[in-house]
Structure 1
Amino acid sequence: MIRIEYPSFPFRIREEEGKELIFDELRRLWIRLTPEEWVRQNFLQYLVQTMGYPASLIAIERELKLGELRKRFDVLVYNRQHQPWLMVECKAMEVNLDESVLQQVLRYNIAVPVPFLVITNGHYCAGFEKRGQQLQAIGTLPVFIH
């Protein structure tokens, strides 16, 4: 597991029509605040503030095609050559990071190949590096130098 120390961030939250919304600073829009979105927003701030990943190279909730299926990845970080580099699958805090979560991000990796895969539920974070057909667990998130 990767240890994450989330930075303090002044999230903007409001209520609209009985639903809580959070302002996504990277996408610059209000998003429904679900348990998964809370994890995603905190993890995004960790990537940008703590790890120094450029916000301009992060894509959030974009559609991808798996055969006939249309799915949405949570977070995709591109390298400086604008090649997909790291994919993150976020789950709500109460969701266990089990084999099914890893298999989900591996399926997405078929459509969008990346060398680094991360799964997180906010409490726990696991990372992997793809080396050919091998998947190697990593103890820290990769440093953004690309």
Structure 2
Amino acid sequence: MQALNFPKFPFRFKNSENKISIFDCIRKKFVILQPEEWVRQHCILYLMEEKGYPKSLINIEKELIVNDLKKRYDIVVFSNDGSIYLIVECKAPSITISQQTFDQIAQYNRVLNANYLMVTNGLNHYYCQMDFENERYDFLKDIPNYNG
């Protein structure tokens, strides 16, 4: 798999029936290694190892309803009070991050109401803080570290 713009992390791999899988420590199972999954797994470890977010507050690939359509978010990080702190939208490295990507995560956030958004294709990362009062997001250099 392609080198990404994240620190190097130790991953567990498995090869079965000529398909490579990577271990997802949140879902506690091996999942087929696709380009977007490669980005997602890096992002999970980035949030835990570099930013200090506890594994217990991270949720992966759950369904949500947006405009009567079933969608799946990539990563959500909860606050200690159970509210949603951060939504992460992961794309494969070959996918260019565009306005459409931001529109997608903004749609999800109308339902989830996270304070922070992160969009990444593993090469480029964008971080935003929501300004609900003015109905916009402000770009940041990084997302905050976990502070309990």
TM interval, shorter chain, is over 0.9
Aligned residues: 143
Give me the whole-angstrom Cα distance separating, in 2, the residues matched to 1:10 and 1:143.
Answer: 21
Q: Structure 2 counterpart of 1:121, which letter? A: N
Contact 2:89 2:118 in 1 (8 A): yes
Q: Structure 2 counterpart of 1:18, which letter? A: N
* TM, length-normalised to structure 1: 0.92
Contact 1:36 1:93 in 2 (8 A): yes
Q: Structure 1 counterpart of 2:131, which letter? A: R
Displacement, 1:11? 0.9
- Give 2:141's aligned residue: 139
- Give 2:45's aligned residue: 45
- Give 2:13's aligned residue: 13
- Give 1:26's aligned residue: 26
- Give 2:59's aligned residue: 59
Unaligned runs of 5+ in 1: none
* TM, length-normalised to structure 2: 0.91
Contact 1:11 1:23 in 2 (8 A): yes
Displacement, 1:57? 0.1
Displacement, 1:110? 1.2
Once superposed, which parts of structure 1, at least 4 consecutive aligned residues long, lie more than 4 Å away? none
3-state SS, counterpart of residue 15 of structure 1: strand
CA RMSD of aligned residues (A): 1.4
Displacement, 1:5? 6.2
Contact 2:5 2:122 in 1 (8 A): no
Unaligned runs of 5+ in 2: none
